[in-house]
A and B are shown apart, each in its own frame.
Chain A
Amino acid sequence: MGMVKDFFSGIYNLVVGLFVTGKHLGRHAITLQYPKERWEMPERSRGVVVLLSDPETGELNCTACLLCMKACPTGAIIIDREKNPETKRWFPTKFVIDNTICAFCGLCEESCNFDAIKLTGKYEFSVFDQSELIYDMDRLAELGRDVKYTPRKKPAAKKAAEQKKPPAEGKKPDEKKEDTAEKKPEEKPDKIETNPAEKKEEKAEASDKKTEDQESRKPEEAKQGDLGLDKEEDKKESGN
């Protein structure tokens, strides 16, 4: 009898299970036929990194302040820069993003103060040769041409700098930007003071910070710093 009972209870449970499956028969499919149909990527989606340019002039927004290069955890960004002797403004001569080691974490976008670098919703960038994944400046700028972005609100430091400077002195707008770029990293630490324990060390650290920031202005030195070493390590790891 036990076996017969088990048999019928088994059949009964099969029917109950099939009933649940049957309930889902009428549902719409949640899958899409991929190459024909595509999901709309959300606005915050973090995909391929691009360089944004000014829609009016077509010039890159990048001021080569090297903040993104310092923020990158994998060392995927390499920047060379030069100073324009006329406008006295830094500009990038080489801007390379190595997509083979990029982690798409978005820290470069967050560190940027000039809407220059952005992670977009683009996700189809498979290639046959790995070396094609290393994007140079032209490629990055081209990818960023059609990317729409809302210009960020001017940072507080920048506004303050503008207000301080009378319009007569502000004839050179490029120079002004350069100033804020350098001021920014120095001013931030003073604003964020949540740690009472750190306050004591603040004075001692302040001198350190200044030297660091000075270092960051020299691209050659920054490259030989910690980030450069880290990058070599990463390459070894990915090779393995």
Chain B
Amino acid sequence: MDEKELHIGEHQEQDEQNPVARELHTEEFLVNMGPQHPSTHGVCRLLLTMDGEVIVKVEPYIGYLHRAIEKICENRIYNQITPFMDRFEYVSSMLADWVYALCVERIGQIEVSPRAEYLRVIFGELQRIASHLIYWGVFAMDLGAVTPFLYGLREREMIMDLFEETCGQRLTYNYIRIGGVSQDINPGFEQKCKKFTSYMCQVLEDYETLLNENPIFLSRTKNIGVAPPELSVAYGVSGPSLRASGVNWDIRKDDPYGYYEKFEFEIPQGKNYDTWDRYQARVIEMRESCKIIEQALDGLPEGDPTFKMRASFKLPEGEYYARIESSRGEMGCYIVSKGEKKPYRLKLRGSSFNNLMIIPEISKGLKIADLVAIFASYDIIMPEVDR
């Protein structure tokens, strides 16, 4: 960081020595990137202070997608909140459903049947793959490769079909409910799911041949946007982006929820802490998710996964927090209950907010094109930032 700043300083000194440059004085200028810029993945406005082509300062302006979801939830009874969780994080809505259900279950000490827990793991991991597929496609698209986007969405379509036949919707699932899931899987779902995971493992190899040795892709990602472990922890970065920074932290392992203790999987860790590592962490995670799904399908117990919660119920007084490992990082739900039918306060933690805040720090001294790569590599989506 310091070297880059020194470099800018030298550049200005040279200008002052040069008589022509002294007359044509250079100064910093402002560039608005967004809120409707395609590579800001939603409506995020970045105000860039530029010195020529070099970025001096990045200021994110957020709030363009604020829908007051927390306030809406505080006016609803507990059963009615789940549909809004789908809208809180619409790229991995299944996991958003899960964190809310988990929080209410912990408050009310509601037991979940083993089959429901297994189904949650299966659908949660399918959702993680679907989310990472979008990441993979969009990341490559932002760097100028069009093919991965089409391939990624094609594979995601299969997951969407699995979701649609089970819960009836493609984006706003409303599937994971308090105490269980809304419906049992259709007969034949397990075979379809196994077919998908084996297909996915094959396709991931194709993905790697497409990008992993591409010299343009490598030069755009290697040693760009280095985020050391200390800095990442200081900014509260979580998820694959944190693991790419060399920190071994995964809530599925370190603070297990559901039945994640029962499954064997590995956690990828980065060595260079750069954009490439953040990309690679997600590709490896997709493979690990396939492993988890296969284990869960093999051990799927019999029983009734649904749970009919009564229409309106009260939770005991107190403050509670539940968190899960979402596809982007730690997703949390914090409920303050006053013993009423509605939550007194409901706070949602989206990991994208913290992941966004580190970008100004690590993108100083780089070019705008590198900023696009860094922004895409952190997998930031705006509904989670603004809520």
Give 1 or 0 for each of B130-144: 1 = CB within 8 Å of chain A CB.
000000000000000
A230-B215 contact in complex given A45-B168, A71-B311, A195-B110, C-beta closer than 8 Å: no
**Contact status B79-A71, CB under 8 Å:** yes
**Contact status B168-A107, CB under 8 Å:** no
Hey, which chain B residues are within 8 Å of A194, CB to CB? 108-111, 179
Q: Which of B164-200 contact A (CB under 8 A)?
A: 164-169, 172, 174, 179, 182-183
Hey, which chain B residues are within 8 Å of A196, CB to CB? 109
**Contact status A44-B76, CB under 8 Å:** no
**Contact status B83-A45, CB under 8 Å:** no
A230 to B80, CA, bound (A): 12
Give 1 or 0 for each of B78-111: 1 = CB within 8 Å of chain A CB.
0111111000000000000000000000001111
Q: Which of A165-204 contact B (CB under 8 A)?
A: 185, 188-189, 192, 194-198, 201
Name the distance in Å between A23's Cβ and chain B's nearest Cβ: 7
A226 to B147, CA, bound (A): 50
Give 1 or 0 for each of A221-240: 1 = CB within 8 Å of chain B CB.
00000100110010001000
**Contact status A189-B84, CB under 8 Å:** no
A198-B316 contact in complex given A105-B83, A189-B310, C-beta closer than 8 Å: yes
**Contact status B110-A73, CB under 8 Å:** no
A230-B311 contact in complex given A10-B215, A196-B109, C-beta closer than 8 Å: no
**Contact status A30-B154, CB under 8 Å:** yes
**Contact status B80-A71, CB under 8 Å:** yes
Counting chain B CB atoms within 10 Å of each CB, which of A23, A46, A229 scores highest? A46
Hey, which chain A residues are within 8 Å of B179, CB to CB? 194
Across the interface, B166 reaches (CB within 8 A) one of A23, A44, A197, A229, namely: A44
A226 to B312, CA, bound (A): 13
Whether B6 is near chain A, meaning CB under 8 Å from some CB there, is no
A36 to B352, CA, bound (A): 41
Whether A143 is near chain B, meaning CB under 8 Å from some CB there, is no
Counting chain A CB atoms within 10 Å of each CB, which of B67, B154, B172, B215 scores highest? B215
Whether A127 is near chain B, meaning CB under 8 Å from some CB there, is no
A13 to B174, CA, bound (A): 44
Across the interface, A119 reaches (CB within 8 A) one of B81, B165, B166, B168, namely: B168
A201-B314 contact in complex given A188-B308, A230-B75, A237-B68, C-beta closer than 8 Å: yes
A23-B110 contact in complex given A44-B165, A188-B310, C-beta closer than 8 Å: no
**Contact status B314-A42, CB under 8 Å:** no
Hey, which chain B residues are within 8 Å of A105, CB to CB? 82-83, 172, 174
A185 to B167, CA, bound (A): 25
Please tell me the number of chain A residues within 8 Å of chain B, measured between CB atoms. Answer: 47
Give 1 or 0 for each of B203-235: 1 = CB within 8 Å of chain A CB.
000100110011110000000000000000000
Q: Which residue of B lies closest to A19 (CB)?
A: B209
Name the distance in Å between A185's Cβ and chain B's nearest Cβ: 7
Q: Which residue of A lies closest to B214 (CB)?
A: A13
Q: Which of B116-141 contact A (CB under 8 A)?
A: none
**Contact status A107-B210, CB under 8 Å:** no
A198 to B337, CA, bound (A): 14
A230-B172 contact in complex given A10-B215, A194-B179, C-beta closer than 8 Å: no
A6-B215 contact in complex given A46-B168, A119-B168, C-beta closer than 8 Å: yes
Whether B157 is near chain A, meaning CB under 8 Å from some CB there, is yes
Whether A9 is near chain B, meaning CB under 8 Å from some CB there, is yes
Whether B64 is near chain A, meaning CB under 8 Å from some CB there, is no
Whether B61 is near chain A, meaning CB under 8 Å from some CB there, is no
Hey, which chain A residues are within 8 Å of B111, CB to CB? 194
A104-B214 contact in complex given A17-B209, A188-B308, C-beta closer than 8 Å: no
Q: Which of A92-111 contact B (CB under 8 A)?
A: 103-107, 110-111
A237 to B73, CA, bound (A): 14
Hey, which chain A residues are within 8 Å of B214, CB to CB? 13, 17
Counting chain B CB atoms within 10 Å of each CB, which of A30, A194, A197 scores highest? A194
Name the distance in Å between A26's Cβ and chain B's nearest Cβ: 14
A105 to B166, CA, bound (A): 14
Hey, which chain A residues are within 8 Å of B67, CB to CB? 237
Please list the residues of chain A having a beta carbon within 8 angstroms of any beta carbon in chain B. Answer: 6, 9-10, 13, 16-17, 19-21, 23-24, 30, 42-46, 67, 70-73, 103-107, 110-111, 119, 185, 188-189, 192, 194-198, 201, 205, 212, 226, 229-230, 233, 237
List 14 other contacts, CB 8 Å, given A194-B110, A201-B314.
Answer: A10-B215, A44-B166, A46-B168, A70-B311, A103-B172, A104-B169, A105-B83, A106-B168, A107-B79, A189-B310, A189-B313, A195-B110, A226-B75, A237-B67
6 cross-chain pairs, A with B, having the tightest CB-CB distances, nearest first: A73-B80, A105-B83, A46-B168, A44-B168, A42-B165, A189-B310
Complex A-B: 16 CB contacts under 8 Å: A6-B215, A16-B213, A17-B214, A20-B206, A42-B164, A44-B166, A45-B168, A70-B311, A73-B80, A107-B80, A107-B83, A110-B182, A111-B311, A119-B168, A195-B110, A198-B313
Please list the residues of chain B having a beta carbon within 8 angstroms of any beta carbon in chain A. Answer: 67-68, 72, 75-76, 79-84, 108-111, 147, 151, 154, 157, 164-169, 172, 174, 179, 182-183, 206, 209-210, 213-216, 308-314, 316
